[in-house]
Structure 1
């Protein structure tokens, strides 16, 4: 998605309700300007099937298919879960904007809370090795990153993270452990930004 401009004529798209714009502008998680919100509104509606007002996971996948060279299916299903905060199976425009802002936030605490939610697939408040490995594999598949080399396989990366993050050695990573570990090792956050090796 990035900052891509919609090719659809602005006149053919619905206008953003002033009330919705005001609500988004007063949301502490939203740091877009009114102009940026309006632009994202046009982009959001350009991805919707005719007659729909909310994104389905299918439409979410189509957006990511146009951005990444690999297969984003598995990753996008997890990303969609994080954006769909009310769990209704759709991402409305408010959820979309808040999700964009939080996932790309410069505020580390916000970004870490979002990243933790992404890795905690079953929502039980901890991250298991299976959950972390699943996310790593999805990111590798989406970005066509090799599952070998300096970073190692998804399983090896997961084991390395657990060796560092799982302070009480219970086989789960709590949010406190996640936060403390991620403050010292940015790999896990870089991965969610789809940049498995930002040094390259």
Structure 2
């Protein structure tokens, strides 16, 4: 989140928590529910919420922040800083932190990928893990093995990713925090991590 000043940062967190709690009371914050809510807020149908739509959306749920607070909250949601809130940004803004069980699994997966322990996953870390031979661009000679591996890593960059062919620990955690919203139970999340990374939940 951008730096607005300690007081305003705290106010943004309060407003967002109030928004999340209101949405939960009105029907939950699951992926399907949030999709319907977002579409209801998107008055002009352009798949984004502009400032006025965002303001009206909050008002609909009984939240009436000051102009300064609203601008700060909008900035919190608007990760790519285009002046609008996309559906992906909307989900990201409302996501809950990973609980301890899920966080432990995600941390283990990162350790598996980060073979050299540098805190950043790079091509050299995954070249013996990820098999590029099934990639169509590689088969057709359009991309080299390194380019395919970089594309794979860029998939973990998230909304504010820089597509630099590597994944930081924060990018990894953000990716799985976003993904976690669409996973209904801890048991299913653990099964997914086991199938993908071979990790057993302790």
TM-score bucket of the superposed structures, by smaller chain: 0.3 to 0.5
Pick the structure with greater CA Rg: 2
Q: Larger relative CO (CA 8 A, sep 6+): 1 or 2?
A: 2
Decide which structure has greater helix share.
Answer: 2
TM-score (norm 1): 0.34
